[in-house]
């Protein structure tokens, strides 16, 4: 009885504290139940087939729980999270476990360098090592939408590395690839493979997310979805779609004033206005491009896209050395960013350094051999050949680019210039006619802006050739 009395005496003296704890527990249970109910209802709203309109931005309260509409990590603006699971060692040799683990660990580091999607830390994702994995369960456990998994099989001096990206909410495969390598320098191979996996995977991830965002009802978009939907419009390469993209990027910024991807996309719409001669005020467009790029760098100086934006700014202001430095820094910050290799190649080609340009274009193509933007890398090679006076090669590479995507301004310019240089006037005029069909109103004044960082002799030859091909003044 003495012991029981002491217990009741202690409970009485701590009544306030116990009541608070119980109250918090009950409140937490209520909140958790509410959130779980909302999560279970995600996806019930019917989606549009195409984003025909841009609705007004929802009130701040509509986006107060960004994690409910997609599996996200708090504090990352509604962006879906990724987990890299330990790669399976299929070699039959336990001593090769370190190589499989090294690939997965390096992937976590490389993916984090993109800074677009939060990546779950190794200590959490590696708890699944040696276990049979249900990706849907991983999605629930870690709060991720995407899972990367793979395997390593080493036989003698060769290794095969397989990797796949899975939408963990459905189990659907987004991307998969296999890599065979000789293991002369195991660490160099590990570095090369992880760089290639990330460079190949991210374009498919981006495309998957843009198509998903394009199907969302406009009133339900958060900052991340607005940006993805903006890119969906941007790649269409029309003046009207570029304007729609700009509205969506601005809306993303309005929803999240520190969302770097929104500022990068916004700046890019002004850059595209400049190179296509769609802007009525080039000076104003340059100022807005510059402002957006500098804002990106201010928000995160280690984000490669900020340097990419600065490179575009320096290109249109004629500061060639600064443009090259910015693109090189973007590559240093993210060695898997194929767009940076392409832009560096363009700048080098314009400066009369074609072999360096081709090397960078080839690096982009090796890193992402199935890239949706492959046409861009192909025209980079074409431009380098044209700059070197190898016009037949330039024609061939331009045609390869057009087989993958028609309508891109630079491709027709390179094609027309090289045809004119080869004396094939009718073919050159045909290329210009196609260019003007896609970009009516484009003229030599637009070319002069594109050649702002070109060596003077190359700029003069190019303008003369395009004039002969029939591009209006």
Whether residue 113 contacts residue 304, with contact meaning beta carbons closer than 8 Å, is answered with yes
Whether residue 158 contacts residue 151, with contact meaning beta carbons closer than 8 Å, is answered with no
* Residue 42 CA, distance from chain mean position: 25
Which token pair is 95?
A: 């001593």
Q: What is the mean pLDDT of the chain?
A: 80
pLDDT of residue 231: 86
Among 50-54, 68-72, 323-327, the least confident range: 50-54
| Overall average pLDDT of the 299-317 stretch | 93
Q: Is the pLDDT of residue 375 over 50?
A: yes
Helices (H), 351-390: 354-367, 374-387
| Overall average pLDDT of the 437-448 stretch | 90
| Overall average pLDDT of the 300-320 stretch | 94
pLDDT of residue 269: 97
Burial class of residue 366, CB neighbours in 10 A (0-12, 13-18, 19+): middle
pLDDT of residue 14: 47
Among 229-238, 372-381, 414-423, the least confident range: 229-238
Q: Is the pLDDT of residue 366 over 90?
A: no
Say whether 149 sits in a helix, a strand or coil. Answer: strand
pLDDT of residue 169: 85
361-368: long-range contacts, CB 8 A cutoff, minimum separation 24: 364/199, 364/338, 364/339, 366/196, 367/195, 367/196, 367/199, 367/200, 367/336, 367/338, 367/341, 368/196, 368/199, 368/200, 368/203, 368/338
Q: Is the pLDDT of residue 181 over 80?
A: yes
Among 19-28, 111-120, 329-338, 355-364, the least confident range: 19-28
Q: Is the pLDDT of residue 202 over 50?
A: yes
Fold entry, domain 68-213: Rossmann fold (3.40.50)
| Overall average pLDDT of the 381-394 stretch | 97
How many whole angstroms separate alpha carbon 230 and alpha carbon 215?
A: 12
pLDDT tens string 75-90: 455 678 888 999 998 8
Which residues touch 295 (CB under 8 Å, ≥6 apart)?
263
How many whole angstroms separate alpha carbon 419 and alpha carbon 431?
A: 9
How many whole angstroms separate alpha carbon 255 and alpha carbon 119?
A: 23
Q: Is the pLDDT of residue 323 over 70?
A: yes
Q: Is the pLDDT of residue 70 over 60?
A: no
How many whole angstroms separate alpha carbon 357 and alpha carbon 264?
A: 24
- Decide: pTM greater than 0.85: no
Say whether 232 sits in a helix, a strand or coil. Answer: helix
Q: Is the pLDDT of residue 383 over 90?
A: yes
pLDDT of residue 282: 93
| Overall average pLDDT of the 160-189 stretch | 84
Which token pair is 464?
A: 């003369």
Whether residue 279 contacts residue 285, with contact meaning beta carbons closer than 8 Å, is answered with yes
More confident residue, 54 or 224: 224
How many whole angstroms separate alpha carbon 149 and alpha carbon 162?
A: 8
Which residue(s) pair with 176 in the sheet?
Answer: 164
Each domain of the chain, given as residue ranges in start order, spans 68-213, 336-473
Residue 403, CA atoms < 13 Å, CB-side half-sphere: 7
What radius of gyration do the chain's Cα atoms show?
26
| Overall average pLDDT of the 161-184 stretch | 86
Same fold: 68-213 with 336-473: no
More confident residue, 370 or 435: 435
Fold entry, domain 336-473: 1.25.40
pLDDT-derived band at 107, boundaries 50, 70, 90: confident
pLDDT of residue 372: 81
pLDDT of residue 115: 66
Q: Is the pLDDT of residue 102 over 60?
A: yes
């Amino acid at each position: 009885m003495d012991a029981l009395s002491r217990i009741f005496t202690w409970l009485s003296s701590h009544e306030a504290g116990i009541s608070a704890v119980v109250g918090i527990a009950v409140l937490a249970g209520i909140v958790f139940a509410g959130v779980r109910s909302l999560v279970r209802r995600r996806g019930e709203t019917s989606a549009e087939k195409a984003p025909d309109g841009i609705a007004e931005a929802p009130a701040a309260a509509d986006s107060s729980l960004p994690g409910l509409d997609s599996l996200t990590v708090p504090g990352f603006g509604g962006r879906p999270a990724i987990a890299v699971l330990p790669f399976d060692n299929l070699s039959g040799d336990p001593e090769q476990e370190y190589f499989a683990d090294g690939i997965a660990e390096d992937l976590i580091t490389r993916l984090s360098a993109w800074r677009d999607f939060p990546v779950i830390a190794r200590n959490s994702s590696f708890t699944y090592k040696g276990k049979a994995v249900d990706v849907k369960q991983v999605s629930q456990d870690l709060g991720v939408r995407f899972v990367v998994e793979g395997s390593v099989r080493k036989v003698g001096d060769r290794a095969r590395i397989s990797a796949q990206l899975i939408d963990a909410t459905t189990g659907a495969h987004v991307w998969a690839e296999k890599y065979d390598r000789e293991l002369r320098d195991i660490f160099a191979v590990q570095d090369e493979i992880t760089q290639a996996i990330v460079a190949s995977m991210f374009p498919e991830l981006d495309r998957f997310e843009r198509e998903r965002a394009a199907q969302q009802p406009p009133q339900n978009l958060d900052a991340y979805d607005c940006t993805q939907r903006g890119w969906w419009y941007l790649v269409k390469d029309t003046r009207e779609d570029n304007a729609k993209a700009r509205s969506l990027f601005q809306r993303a910024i309005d929803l999240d004033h520190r969302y770097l991807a929104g500022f990068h996309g916004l700046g890019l719409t002004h850059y595209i206005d400049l190179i296509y001669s769609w802007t009525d005020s080039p000076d104003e467009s340059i100022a807005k491009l510059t402002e957006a790029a500098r804002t990106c760098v201010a928000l995160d100086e280690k984000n490669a896209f900020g340097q990419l934006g600065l490179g575009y700014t320096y290109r249109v202001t004629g500061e060639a050395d600064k443009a090259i430095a910015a693109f090189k820094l973007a590559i240093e910050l993210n060695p898997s960013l194929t767009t940076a290799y392409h832009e560096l190649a363009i700048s080098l080609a314009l400066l009369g350094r074609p072999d360096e340009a081709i090397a960078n274009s080839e690096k982009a193509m090796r890193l992402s051999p199935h890239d949706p933007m492959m046409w861009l890398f192909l025209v980079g090679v074409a431009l380098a050949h044209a700059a070197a006076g190898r016009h037949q090669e330039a024609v061939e590479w331009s045609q390869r680019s057009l087989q993958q995507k028609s309508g891109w301004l630079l491709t027709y310019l390179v094609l027309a210039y090289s045809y004119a240089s080869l004396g094939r006037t009718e073919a050159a005029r045909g290329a210009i006619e196609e260019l003007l069909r896609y970009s009516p109103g484009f003229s030599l004044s637009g070319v002069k802006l594109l050649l702002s960082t070109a060596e003077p002799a190359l700029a003069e030859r190019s303008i003369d050739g395009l004039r002969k091909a029939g591009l209006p003044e």
